[in-house]
Structure 1
Amino acid sequence: MQRQPVLVYDGDCAFCTSSVRFAQRRLRPRCDATPWQFTDLAGLGIAQQRAEHEVLWVTPGGAVHGGAQAVAKLLMSARGGWPVVGALLTLPPVRWLAHGAYRVIAHNRRRMPGGTAACAMPSAPRTQKRA
């Protein structure tokens, strides 16, 4: 059983990887961060298709939060004033706006700073890599 939350992200995406590294350095969230490609997704109760689609926050109890709500949970676990920002992202209507913004960024991540063609959302099924 995991002792702290796990942030699962797309390790093939340079934008995603850069964003997670930035969060780890600057926000110092209380979680483990791991690319889905090197994670036992089944053990966390996550379908590969979902991991390809959005960042995921998995609690020690097994609850899974995706997309903007995963970002909110990450912020709520950070130090400083970030937990307040994370809490705001869970409240309507901010939550709805955050969801829309997350979807736009996720669908355009290859165009974001640090993004590459590998950041494009998959159009065909990929096989999960094992570590």
Structure 2
Amino acid sequence: MATPVLVYDGDCGFCTRSVRLAEKLPLRARIVPWQEADLTALRTTEQRARHEVLWVDEAGRVSGGADAVAALLRHCGFPWSLPGAVLSLPVLRGIARLGYRWVADNRHRLPGSTPACALPADQRPGA
């Protein structure tokens, strides 16, 4: 894969808003909602894409959730690579994963959310 890919939930207002912030970073990656992505070519599944944000690196390795956010930040270069590296440290990785899961599970309560964010994944538009 020539360029990394960030895969997110395009039906979720909070996720879309978060991606708009990521676009302001020095990010050299393709950003695509999972609903429009060729998930098979990206070596992942719809089930996983519905569950968490995904980062597919140049080698085709797929990271999800907090690990995807850390990989994205590391890819942006200095100074963004520093928080990415910190989130990847074994001692903080578990905390980052818990934090990510809390945000993902509560995204319908966060700023920028849409009614689709509150629906179970199988009931969201495009399901």
TM-score normalized by structure 1?
A: 0.89
Cα 1:32–1:110 change in 2 (3 A) is same
Match of 2:84 in 1: 86
Are 1:53 and 1:121, in contact at CA under 8 Å, matched by a contact in 2? Answer: no
- Select the residue among 48, 52, 55 that pairs with 1:54: 52
Where do 4+ consecutive residues of structure 1 move more than 2 Å?
A: 120-129
Q: How many residues align?
A: 127
Amino acid in structure 2 at the alignment position of 1:48: E
Distance in structure 2 (CA, Å) of the matches to 1:108 and 1:92: 25
Q: CA RMSD in A?
A: 1.8
Segments of 5+ residues of structure 1 without an aligned counterpart are none
Q: Name the aligned partner's letter for residue 98 of structure 2.
A: G
Between the aligned residues of both structures, percent identity stands at 51
Q: 1:12-91 residue pairs with structure 2 within 5 A?
A: 12-25=11-24, 27-91=25-89
When normalised by structure 2's length, the TM-score is: 0.91
**1:42 aligned partner, one-letter code:** T
Q: Are the structure 2 counterparts of residues 109 and 126 from structure 1 closer, same or farther at C-alpha, using a change threshold of 3 Å? A: closer
Q: How many Å apart are 1:30 and its aligned residue?
A: 2.0
Task: Evaluate the alpha carbon distance shift between residue 83 and residue 108 of structure 1 in structure 2; reply closer, same or farther with a 3 A threshold.
Answer: same
Contact 2:116 / 2:124 at 8 angstroms: preserved in 1?
Answer: no
Asked whether the equivalents of residues 11 and 124 of structure 2 are also in contact (C-alpha less than 8 Å), the reply is no
Structure 2, unaligned runs of 5 or more? none
Q: For 2:100, which of 93, 99, 102 is the aligned residue?
A: 102
1:19-68, Cα deviation, whole Å (9 max, x unpaired): 0111111x222211100000011111111000000000001221100000
Map of 2:7 onto structure 1? 8
Amino acid at match of 1:99: R
Q: Does the Cα contact within 8 Å between 1:52 and 1:122 map onto a contact in 2?
A: no
In 2: Cα distance, 1:114 partner to 1:69 partner: 23
What residue is the counterpart of 2:110 in the other structure? 112
